[in-house]
Chains A and B, each alone.
Chain A
Amino acid sequence: MQKFLQKVITNNLTRASMAHFGQSLKPPVRVAITGAAGQIGYSLIFRVASGEMLGPNQPVILHLIDLPFAMTALNGVAMEIQDCAFPLVQGIVATDNQTVGFKDVNYALLVGAKPRGPGMERGDLLKDNGKIFTETGKYVNDHASRDIKVVVVGNPCNTNCLILANQIKDIPKENFTAMTRLDHNRAQHQLADKLGVHSSDIRKIAIFGNHSPTMVPYIDQMTAKNHKATVDQQWVTQTFIPTVQQRGAEIIKARKLSSAASAGNAAMNHITTWVNGTPEGDYTSMAIPSDGSYGVPKGLIFSFPVTVKNGKYSIVQGLPISPFYQGLLDKTIKELVDERNAVDHLLK
Chain B
Amino acid sequence: MEVQQSLTVCVTGAAGQIAYSFIPLLLSGQVFGQVKINLRLLDIPKMETALKGVVMEIEDCAYPLIGDIQTGSNPKELFQNCDLIVFLGGFPRLPGMERKDLLQKNANIFKEQGEALQEVGKEDVKCVVVANPANTNCLILSRYATKIPRQNFTCLTRLDQNRAYAQVALTLNKPLNSLKNIIIWGNHSTTQYPSIEHATVEGQSFVLPDQGQFIERIQKRGAEVLNARGNSSVFSAANAVKDHIKDWYNGREDTLLSLGVLSNGEYGVQSGLCFSYPIRCLGAFKYEIVGNLQLSDFSKQKLKVTEEELIQEQGLAESI
Q: Which residues does A use to contact B, with CB under 8 Å?
A: 9, 11-14, 17, 20-21, 23, 42-43, 46-47, 50, 52, 72-73, 75-77, 79-87, 182, 185-186, 188-189, 193, 198-200, 247, 250-251, 253-256, 259, 261-262, 265-266
Contact = CB atoms under 8 A, between A and B. Distances in A.
Contact of B169 (A11, A52, A189, A198): A11
Nearest to A257: B53
Interface in B4-53: 20-21, 23-25, 28, 30, 49-50, 52-53
B290 to A, nearest CB: 21
Nearest to A182: B60
Interface in B127-179: 159, 162-163, 165-166, 169-170, 173-178
B236 A83 contact: yes
A85 B56 CA distance: 31
29 contacts: A11-B169, A20-B202, A21-B178, A46-B238, A47-B25, A47-B28, A50-B25, A50-B30, A73-B229, A77-B229, A79-B224, A79-B228, A80-B236, A81-B236, A84-B162, A84-B236, A85-B169, A87-B176, A185-B62, A188-B62, A199-B64, A200-B62, A251-B56, A251-B57, A253-B53, A254-B56, A262-B57, A265-B24, A265-B61
Nearest to B49: A254
Interface of B: 20-21, 23-25, 28, 30, 49-50, 52-54, 56-57, 59-64, 66, 159, 162-163, 165-166, 169-170, 173-178, 202, 221, 224-225, 227-231, 233-236, 238-240
Contacts of A266: 60-61
Contacts of A255: 50, 53-54, 57
B162 A259 contact: no
Contact of B59 (A9, A14, A75, A189): A189
A186 B162 contact: no
Contact of A82 (B170, B177, B227, B240): B170
B169 A185 contact: no
Nearest to A9: B170
A79 B162 CA distance: 12
B38 to A, nearest CB: 13
Contacts of A47: 24-25, 28
| Most B CB within 10 A of own CB, among A87, A200, A250 | A200
B23 to A, nearest CB: 8
